Chains A and B, each alone.
Chain A
Amino acid sequence: MNDFMEKYSDEELIARFQQGDEYAFEEIVHRFKDRLKNFVYRYLSNEEAAEDVVQDTFLRVYQKKHMYRNIAKFSTWIYTIAGNLAKTELRKKKRRKMFSLSNLGLEDKEYEIPSEEFAPEEDVEGEYTEQEIQDAINELSDKFKTVIILRDIQELSYEEISNIIDVPVGTVKSRINRGRIKLQEKLRHLRTPKAERTS
């Protein structure tokens, strides 16, 4: 990686790339690949599909670099692309799941419901396993899931989220609050009683 690229802002990098500087693109990939992978993975909960979506996101950036206008933050633009591609992938995944369920015999349904793909269980500090938390996120409806991941996992500002999902900041705040409440409802039953925790 070219160290001299580190001094540039994201917006300066895309401007340089628009003028043909390929090193600027490499720096963009370096800066965003893990962030986007984390975002898309939490959305799809599938390692391979998430990586493909991130690759497709960078390909879009590469091909459509001139579509970016310096009126929004570059991160907003790239997250919007990744989010849209992830949504499309999730729809495909749901269709595939429905198709595979509809093709099962009645006697098979009890045993062969396709499970979500997960990496081996990783320890999460606290009361829940990673899978339990991911399950709770997966159960959220799309509009809550998106804002929760962008805010609480990607740690983006309300304004950025508002630009990415194209809804007013007030609506974003309200959705985040409601999404968190839904999430705590889903996780609450997994919590050990207070008495056990304190003993």
Chain B
Amino acid sequence: MNCSEFEARLSDYVDGDISPHLRKRFLQHKEFCPDCDELLEDFKSALFAIHSLPRKKTSPDFNRRLYERIDQLEEKSIWQKFLGIVPEHLFPRYAIAMAFATIALLIGLNTIQETGDSIAEPDQPVLPPPSLNVPQQVLISNQPGLLQTPITMESDTDDTNRIMPVQEGRSFEGQIRYVNGQ
């Protein structure tokens, strides 16, 4: 037996998994080779070191934490079963997001349309420039075409921010009409 054969048989020898014939040759080589003799000593020492490592144990609350996690899994699983009436692949996250986006878009479009209708009122008057110092007659009516008490306003440059008083029974939803020069 040479040194490389000796090295290859180290575990077999230490584990006792070696035939008597090979064992004899192994020991003969060890007897005449100080390097391999030392190698065997170091090898056994390393094995002894590993075998003497302390056994690690789980922490005292290991079971409690494990069964808590299992309970959480079970709860999830119940919800999945409940939602499982519709297979999961039929309502993936993207589909739900798309549905919400579509609803938001429809609401948005509807709002824009309503706002657009009120802006595009055909009888909407155009305010005269505040620099024109002419009296204005404001007519307010709750019903289109029906004139109610006229309110006469003197227009001057300082009145641009004046708030028109709201009288009882009148609404801003009614038509407001400015008549110049009356």
Residues of A within 8 A of B (CB): 29, 33-34, 37-38, 41-42, 47, 50-51, 54-55, 58-59, 62-63, 122, 124-128, 130, 133-134, 136-137, 148, 152-153, 173, 176-177, 180-181, 183-185, 187-188, 191
Task: Please state if A181 and B7 are interface contacts (CB–CB under 8 Å).
Answer: yes
Task: Please state if B52 and A51 are interface contacts (CB–CB under 8 Å).
Answer: no
Residues of B within 8 A of A (CB): 7-8, 10-12, 39, 42-43, 45-59, 62-63, 65-66, 69-70, 73
Task: Please state if B54 and A130 are interface contacts (CB–CB under 8 Å).
Answer: yes
CA distance A29 to B67 in the complex (A): 11
Task: Please state if B62 and A55 are interface contacts (CB–CB under 8 Å).
Answer: yes
Task: Please state if A37 and B56 are interface contacts (CB–CB under 8 Å).
Answer: yes
CA distance A34 to B73 in the complex (A): 23
Given known contacts A59-B69, A59-B73, A181-B10, A191 and B54 CB-to-CB distance under 8 angstroms: no
Given known contacts A55-B62, A133-B53, A184 and B69 CB-to-CB distance under 8 angstroms: no
Point out the residues of chain A lying under 8 angstroms from B69, CB to CB.
55, 59
Q: Tell me the minimal C-beta distance from A88 to chain B in angstroms.
A: 18
CA distance A136 to B49 in the complex (A): 11
Task: Please state if B70 and A33 are interface contacts (CB–CB under 8 Å).
Answer: no
Task: Please state if A184 and B42 are interface contacts (CB–CB under 8 Å).
Answer: yes
Contact of A41 among B45, B56, B63, B66 (CB under 8 A): B56
CA distance A133 to B45 in the complex (A): 11
Task: Please state if B10 and A187 are interface contacts (CB–CB under 8 Å).
Answer: no
User: Which residue on B lies nearest to A177, using beta carbons?
Assistant: B11
Task: Please state if B53 and A42 are interface contacts (CB–CB under 8 Å).
Answer: yes
CA distance A184 to B8 in the complex (A): 14
Task: Please state if A153 and B62 are interface contacts (CB–CB under 8 Å).
Answer: no
CA distance A130 to B50 in the complex (A): 9
